Amino acid sequence: MKLWQKEVGNKKEVESFTIGRDPEFDMILAPFDVLGSMAHAQMLSSIGLLTKTENETLQKGLKAIYFEIEKGQFQIAPGVEDVHSQVEFLLTERFGEVGKKLHSGRSRNDQVLVDLKLYYRAAIRELVEETSILFDLLLQLAEKHKDDLMPGYTHTQLAMPSSFGLWFSSIAEGLSEDLGLLKAAFDLSNKNPLGSAAGYGSSFPLNRTMTTDLLGFADLHHNVINAQNSRGKTERTLSFAMAGIAASLNRMASDCCIFMNQHFAFISFPDELTTGSSIMPHKKNPDVFELIRAKTNQIQAIPNTVNLLLTNTTTGYHRDLQLLKEEIFPGLTSLKSCLEMSTFMLKSIRVRQGILQDPFYKHLFSVEVVNELVLKGVPFRDAYKQVGGAIEKGDFAPNQSKLAHTHEGSIGNLNLTEIRSKMGKVVQSFDFNQMDKAILSLIS
For the stretch 392-414, pLDDT in tens is: 999 999 998 878 899 999 999 99
Same-domain status, 179 and 73: no
- Same structural domain for residues 22 and 133? no
Q: Are residues 74 and 123 in the same domain?
A: no
Do 27 and 156 share a domain, yes or no?
no
Q: Which of 223, 225, 202, 190 is nearest to 43 (CA)?
A: 202
Confidence of residue 213 (pLDDT cuts 50, 70, 90): very high
Would the pLDDT of 4 be above 70?
A: no
CA distance 207 to 352: 63
**Boundary residue ending a domain (101, 136, 159):** 101
Weakest mean pLDDT among 3-12, 13-22, 244-253, 370-379: 3-12
Residue 350 has pLDDT above 50, yes or no: yes
Model pTM score = 0.93
Average pLDDT, the chain: 94
Helix, strand or coil for residue 312? coil
Residue 252 lies inside a defined structural domain of this protein: yes
Residue type, position 223, single letter: N
CATH number at residue 40: 1.10.275.10
Of the candidates 66, 101, 136, which is a domain's last residue? Answer: 101
148/227 same-domain check: yes
pLDDT band of 8, cuts 50, 70, 90:
low
Same domain, 125 and 154: yes
- What count of residues does the chain have? 444
Q: Are residues 311 and 425 in the same domain?
A: yes
Phi and psi angles of residue 210, each rounded to the nearest 5 degrees, phi first: -65, -45
Q: Judge whether residue 41 has pLDDT over 80.
A: yes
Q: Where among 72, 101, 130 does a domain terminate?
A: 101
Q: Judge if 127 and 94 occupy the same domain.
A: no
Range of the domain at 80: 12-101
Per the domain annotation, does 146 fall within a domain? Answer: yes
Closest CA to 198 of 236, 224, 172: 224
Establish if 378 belongs to a structural domain: no
370 or 274, which is more confident? 370
Structural domain contains residue 202: no
**Do 316 and 236 share a structural domain?**
yes
Nearest Cα to Cα of residue 409 among 163, 67, 91, 181: 163
Lowest mean pLDDT among 120-134, 203-217, 312-326, 414-428: 312-326
Residues 42 and 177 in one domain: no
Whether 408 is in a domain gets the answer no
- The number of distinct structural domains making up the chain is 2
- In 3D space, the residue among 330, 108, 106, 116 whose CA is nearest the CA of residue 231 turns out to be 116
CATH number at residue 344: 1.20.200.10
Beta strands 191-192 and 219-220 are parallel
- Residue 295 is assigned to a structural domain of this protein: yes
- Count of alpha carbons within 13 angstroms of residue 317, beta-carbon side: 17
In this prediction, residue 3 has a pLDDT band, given cuts at 50, 70 and 90, of: low
Q: Could you tell me if 152 and 238 lie in one domain? A: yes
CA 198 to CA 109: how far, in whole Å? Answer: 6
Please report, to the nearest 10 degrees, the dihedral formed by the alpha carbons of residues 238, 243, 246, 248 taken in order: -110
- pLDDT bin (cut points 50, 70, 90) of residue 5 is low
Phi, psi (deg, nearest 5) at residue 337: -65, -40
Q: How high is the pLDDT of residue 21? A: 78
- Whether residue 118 is found in the same domain as residue 258: yes
Query: Is 209 inside a domain boundary?
Result: no
Residue 399 within any structural domain of the chain: no
